[in-house]
């Protein structure tokens, strides 16, 4: 008999990819993805603990599906991801309808859940770097590839080192074999995933790994996330030299104020960050940069915030993900005095977003008239009469639908700049 699974995925790319791993593993056990939770024999919540909001969203959704067990007594419910690891007892106590809790290092057990009793799978898994997964990938042309797990940095606001454990890197041979397999199946782009890819280290370092991957000859290679402290000159040189690497870098700044960076335990100053940005832009003038900013970290004064505003204006990022600081129990920042009131955080966040909107529009306008190579991702979600693709620098571009399939690479002349995308025409 056919079995169905429904997965709710919250949070970062790491979680999106973990859901692909769970779906792939379950497909080997005869499961198919259900379109709605009502049709599932197994419901999995792949949770995120980075911010309080994502956690609340999960708990309220978990409450909303409770009644499904009445109509289907054989239904099993599992909670995976960072909340599962961090709040395992709380989840089991608060939601007796949950059957299983599995932390990010224990995804491989997902295939055996249906036969198991109510249980917690949250032990450290020293073999996680050697675990091979069947994957059920969302896209047929662009793939996520995990290269390492965990983080050693202990930024004072972040829960990840407690939920995903210490850094461990996958062997390069296994990563290279996975990417070769993807190329053979027609994939055009991979994004290498890790909390801090710059500190990848197995038999080779990250730059060595990039060189090996470049030789496979995919159309495009990207990676997230880089820690500014670990961004080396050798990596910048690799971005210049290796043709498959895209001219785009996500480099979380978090704050423009040195006192706040220190309290965050980020281990770089704003001047050091700028030095690296200068080096990258000097060597790759077409590079696009995106960043993360935390607003209202404990102790952030108006003048600290003004330094972040100044940094955003000086650097002119192409993209910014800014969030209000969210207290995470168990982290050092959670215990810090001088927590910033919510209303102040909200006002500062709005101010920063408005400034950044103008910067993005200005940077997008500078591309009008240029020719960009676009990798087509499919019909535009907002207007199906349009195609949507991305430049090598990760800008979204729309163009009139000309029948080009997902994965096609087109040269497009940019005609219009918007706040969040560009519009262009294919060059004949
Ligand atoms: S580098 Fe810092 S912010 Fe990123 S995952 Fe590690 S501890 Fe968290």
Per DSSP, the three-state class of 224 is strand
Q: Which atom of ligand 1 is nearest to the CA of 265?
A: 2
User: What are 43's strand-pairing partners?
Assistant: 6, 77
132: in domain? no
**How many residues are listed for the chain in this entry?**
428
25: in domain? yes
Calculate the alpha carbon distances from 6 to 13, 34, 46, 173, 236 in Å.
18, 5, 11, 33, 41
153 lines ligand 1 (CB under 6 A): yes
What are the tens digits of pLDDT across the range 398-410? 999 889 999 999 9
The best mutation among 151, 267, 293 to test binding of ligand 1, ranked by most ligand atoms within 8 Å of the C-beta, falls on 151
Full-model pTM: 0.94
Instruction: Give the CATH number for residue 404.
Output: 2.40.50.140
Residue nearest to atom 1 of ligand 1 (CA): 153
Instruction: Give the CATH number for residue 359.
Output: 3.30.750.200
386 and 402 in a single domain? The answer is yes
Q: At which of 366, 387, 402 does a domain end?
A: 366
Q: What angle separates helix 206-216 from helix 172-184, to the nearest 10 degrees? A: 20
Calculate the alpha carbon distances from 187 to 18, 190, 225, 316, 372 in Å.
19, 8, 21, 32, 20
263: in domain? no
- Is the pLDDT at 113 greater than 90? The verdict is no
Instruction: Give the CATH number for residue 190.
Output: 3.30.750.210
334 and 395 in a single domain? The answer is no
Dist CA 385 CA 217 (whole Å): 32
Q: At which of 76, 91, 123 does a domain end?
A: 123
103 and 149 in a single domain? The answer is no
296 and 231 in a single domain? The answer is no
259: in domain? no
Q: Which domain holds residue 232?
A: 139-246
Q: What does the pLDDT read at residue 230?
A: 92
379 and 362 in a single domain? The answer is no
Specify the number of domains making up the chain. Answer: 4
What are the tens digits of pLDDT across the range 34-76? 999 999 999 999 999 998 888 999 999 999 999 999 999 999 9
Share of the chain above pLDDT 70, in %: 99
What is the number of other CB atoms lying within 10 angstroms of the CB of residue 382? 9
Q: What does the pLDDT read at residue 124?
A: 87
Q: Please report which confidence band the pLDDT of residue 419 belongs to, taking 50, 70 and 90 as the band edges.
A: very high
Instruction: Give the CATH number for residue 49.
Output: 3.40.50.12160
Per DSSP, the three-state class of 201 is strand
What are the tens digits of pLDDT across the range 131-170? 899 999 999 999 999 999 999 999 999 999 999 999 999 9
- Is the pLDDT at 115 greater than 80? The verdict is no
29: in domain? yes
Dist CA 361 CA 194 (whole Å): 30
Q: Which residue has the higher pLDDT, 191 or 381?
A: 191
Share of the chain above pLDDT 90, in %: 90
154 lines ligand 1 (CB under 6 A): yes
101 and 153 in a single domain? The answer is no
Round the CA-based radius of gyration of the chain to a whole number and report it: 22
Site of tokens 């600081």 = 325
Mean pLDDT of 264-270: 98
Residue 112: asked if its preceding bond is cis (omega within 30°), the reply is no
Dist CA 344 CA 231 (whole Å): 33
């Amino acid at each position: 008999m056919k079995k169905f699974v429904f997965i709710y995925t919250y949070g970062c790319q790491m979680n999106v990819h973990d859901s692909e791993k769970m779906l792939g593993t379950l497909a080997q056990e005869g499961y198919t993805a259900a379109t709605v939770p009502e049709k599932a024999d197994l419901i999995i919540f792949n949770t995120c603990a980075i911010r309080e909001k994502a956690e609340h969203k999960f708990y309220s959704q978990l409450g909303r599906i409770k009644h499904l067990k009445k109509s289907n007594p054989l239904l099993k419910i599992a909670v995976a991801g960072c909340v599962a690891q961090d709040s395992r007892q709380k989840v089991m106590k608060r939601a007796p309808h949950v059957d299983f809790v599995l932390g990010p290092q224990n995804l491989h057990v997902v295939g055996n859940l249906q036969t198991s009793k109510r249980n917690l799978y949250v032990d450290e898994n020293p073999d996680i770097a050697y675990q091979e997964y069947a994957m059920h990938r969302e896209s047929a042309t662009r793939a996520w590839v995990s290269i390492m797990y965990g983080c050693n940095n202990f930024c004072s606001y972040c829960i990840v080192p407690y939920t995903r454990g210490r850094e461990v890197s996958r062997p390069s041979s296994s990563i290279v074999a996975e990417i070769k397999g993807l190329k053979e199946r027609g994939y055009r782009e991979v994004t290498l995933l890790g909390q801090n890819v710059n500190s990848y280290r197995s038999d080779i370092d990250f730059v060595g790994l990039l060189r090996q991957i470049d030789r496979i000859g995919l159309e495009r290679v990207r990676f997230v996330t880089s820690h500014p402290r670990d961004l080396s000159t050798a990596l910048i040189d690799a971005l210049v030299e290796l043709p498959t690497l895209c001219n785009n870098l996500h480099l979380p700044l978090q704050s423009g104020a040195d006192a706040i960076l220190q309290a965050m335990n980020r281990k770089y100053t704003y001047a050091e960050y700028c030095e690296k940005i200068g080096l990258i832009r000097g060597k790759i003038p077409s590079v696009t940069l995106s960043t993360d900013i935390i607003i209202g970290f404990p102790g952030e004064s108006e003048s600290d915030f003004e330094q972040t505003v100044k940094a955003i204006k000086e650097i002119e990022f192409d993209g910014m993900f800014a969030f209000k600081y969210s207290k995470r129990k168990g982290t050092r920042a959670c215990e810090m005095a001088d927590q910033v009131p919510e209303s102040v955080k909200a006002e500062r966040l709005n101010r920063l977003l408005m400034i950044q909107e103008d910067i993005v529009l200005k940077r997008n306008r500078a591309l009008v008239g240029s020719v960009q190579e676009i990798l087509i991702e499919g019909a535009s979600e907002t207007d199906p009469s349009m195609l949507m693709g991305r430049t090598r620098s990760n800008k979204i571009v729309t163009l009139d639908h000309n029948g080009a399939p997902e994965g096609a690479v087109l040269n497009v002349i940019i005609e219009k700049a918007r706040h969040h995308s560009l519009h262009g025409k294919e060059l004949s």
